[in-house]
Amino acid sequence: MSQYKAYPAYKDSGVEWLGRVPEHWQIKRLKHIANVQTGVAKGKDNEGKDTIEVPYLRVANVQDGYLSLDDVTTIEIPREDLECYSLQPGDVLMNEGGDFDKLGRGSVWQGEIEPCIHQNHVFAVRPTAVPSAWLNAFTGSLAAQFYFMGRAKQSTNLASISSSNIMELPVALPPEAEMDLLLDLVDHETARIDALVAKKTRFIELLREKRQALITHAVTKGLDPNVKMKDSGVEWLGEVPEHWSKPISLLSLAKSEQHSFVNGPFGSDLLTTELMDEGVPVIYIRDIRASAYRRVSEVFVSPAKAEQLRFCNVLPGDVVISKVGDPPGIAAVYPAGEEEGIVTQDVMRLRVDEQQVEPDFMAMLINSDYGRFNISQVSVESTRLRVGLGDFKQLKFTIPPVVEQRMILAALQPMLSQIDALMDKTATSVTLLKERRSALITAAVTGQIDLREAV
């Protein structure tokens, strides 16, 4: 922000977290410049009433700065309630809560679906004395987020804010002409940043596709382009090297049938109250990436509890696999140097017989298009796609001899490491661009920088 100058004169806003604002700006509570409309709660008894089925926005539809309308569900409400709850163009949609990053995030409704209502976890803020674009920019700023977090009810990883607290939000307001100018300048700059983010995000997608193609080709065709081939029996897969095995089940590749394949403990076996800040680590789905295992969960159980759940322990060299997701069945090798842990109920552990298969090759095979196709054939849909342990054990794969697996890994892993490093570097630059975007909006709508003479 060093290229922008400050306003000539400031005054105390009277709001501690907002600090100083330009001398000629005003501070008004949201309730004086907008109305807050709460939404419809699901599960109401409408028996005997004249109802109508209408589209219904949920928290998942209201993203940070845009609306995701590819999956809009419907709900039945009394016809007489439609006018009360219908969205109007210019409404600023804001999430009441959820994960911390969802609190207060939103976008301006432009009348994309008519009619449309919103659930009770989404607020429709209807401006009466301020442009929707300004209100949306201010409520999405870091300053407003600080206010929301300070007023929210919080529990483990979740937060929610009431409509009464939303209405008390202090909003910084420049004169109308200046407000329009600032919005135009911010829109121009954020559009440039968004274009860069989109370009870099697409580059990451292309790298990910290249990575996937390299893996799939290596684990289904091998390294020798001149090797004699045979029909795989899978139409889309085509031929595989002739000397590779006939399709064999994962169960036959396990170190021992009894203990190699396990689920994590069910909820009744591992209670939330038993989770701790230190002890034996618990492995969650979010720790499992197709590129590698990366612990992002800092959740533990006591050594005594871990001993009770020893049947689902994880050691370095074990393959851990997600049971749910889109797609399910993402695999990673639990790396050397990690202490013994336990898996949750949505994670499977596979301990392979290293005389037959290398753990890294097994993870790569499961993550390949070949593996994903096989897993998709036994996945079932509940709230998310899920694969059961019994079905997973029976999946069959054609694999090379273990010596050839090691050769494939030796050839492939350096290339994958280069791709992963480039993806990480690009992802970091995307994060920095998004942070710059957020900082620019915050500085503009709180008067920290003077854009009136910006070119």
Cα–Cα distances (Å) from 163 to 30, 51, 120, 152, 396, in that order, read 11, 27, 10, 11, 54
Short-list 169, 152, 142, CA closest to 103: 152
Taking a C-beta distance cutoff of 8 angstroms, is the pair 312, 262 a contact?
A: yes
Distance CA 26, CA 173 (A): 5
Q: Which fold has domain 1-25+174-225+402-455?
A: Helix Hairpins (1.10.287)
Q: Mean pLDDT check: name the lowest of 309-313, 400-404, 409-413.
A: 309-313
Query: Does 39 have pLDDT greater than 90?
Result: no
Structure tokens at 276: 């701790």
DSSP 26-71: EEEEGGGTEEEE--BPTT---TTS-EEEEEEE-GGGB-SSSB--SS
Q: Tokens 């939330």 appear where?
A: 272
Distance CA 342, CA 312 (A): 6
Distance CA 202, CA 196 (A): 10
Taking a C-beta distance cutoff of 8 angstroms, is the pair 118, 87 a contact?
A: yes
Query: Does 454 have pLDDT greater than 80?
Result: no
Give long-range contacts, CB 8 A cutoff, 24+ apart: 390-395. Answer: 392/250, 392/261, 392/321, 392/329, 392/348, 393/249, 393/250, 393/251, 393/254, 393/261, 394/249, 394/250, 394/251, 395/249, 395/250
Taking a C-beta distance cutoff of 8 angstroms, is the pair 106, 97 a contact?
A: no
Taking a C-beta distance cutoff of 8 angstroms, is the pair 173, 26 a contact?
A: yes
3-state class (DSSP) for residue 229: strand
Residue type, 363: A
The string of pLDDT tens digits covering residues 359-378 is: 999 999 999 999 999 999 99
Q: 26-171 belongs to which homologous superfamily? A: DNA methylase specificity domains (3.90.220.20)
Short-list 440, 442, 432, CA closest to 197: 432
Beta-bridge partner residues of 97: 160
The string of pLDDT tens digits covering residues 303-361 is: 998 888 888 899 999 999 999 988 899 999 999 989 999 998 889 999 999 999 999 99
Query: Does 445 have pLDDT greater than 60?
Result: yes
Distance CA 29, CA 406 (A): 65
Matching CATH topology for 26-171 and 248-397?
yes
Could you tell me the residue ranges of all domains in the chain? 1-25+174-225+402-455, 26-171, 248-397
Quote the pLDDT of residue 48: 76
Quote the pLDDT of residue 156: 57
Helix axes 132-139, 142-151, angle to 10 degrees: 60
Structure tokens at 159: 């937060």
Quote the pLDDT of residue 256: 77
Beta-bridge partner residues of 28: 171
Q: Is the dihedral of CA 162, 163, 169, 171 positive or negative?
A: positive
Query: Does 255 have pLDDT greater than 90?
Result: no
The rounded mean pLDDT for the chain is 90
Q: Using pLDDT thresholds of 50, 70 and 90, give the confidence band for residue 101.
A: low
Helix axes 369-376, 176-221, angle to 10 degrees: 90
417-443 mean pLDDT:
95
What Rg do the C-alpha atoms of the chain give, in angstroms?
27
Quote the pLDDT of residue 354: 92
Q: Mean pLDDT check: name the lowest of 41-50, 324-333, 375-384.
A: 41-50
Query: Does 257 have pLDDT greater than 80?
Result: no
Structure tokens at 365: 């095979």
Phi-psi region of 119 (alpha: psi -120 to 50; beta: other; left: phi over 0): beta
Q: Using pLDDT thresholds of 50, 70 and 90, give the confidence band for residue 274.
A: confident
Which CATH code is given to the segment(s) 248-397? 3.90.220.20
DSSP 175-208: -HHHHHHHHHHHHHHHHHHHHHHHHHHHHHHHHH
Q: CA 41: distance to chain centroid?
A: 25
The string of pLDDT tens digits covering residues 152-189 is: 887 656 778 888 999 999 999 999 999 999 999 999 99
Cα–Cα distances (Å) from 452 to 5, 43, 134, 379, 437, in that order, read 10, 50, 16, 57, 18
Query: Does 239 have pLDDT greater than 80?
Result: yes
Q: Tokens 């898996």 appear where?
A: 343
Beta strand 341-343 pairing with 280-283: parallel
* Phi, psi dihedral angles at 76 (to 5 degrees): -95, 130
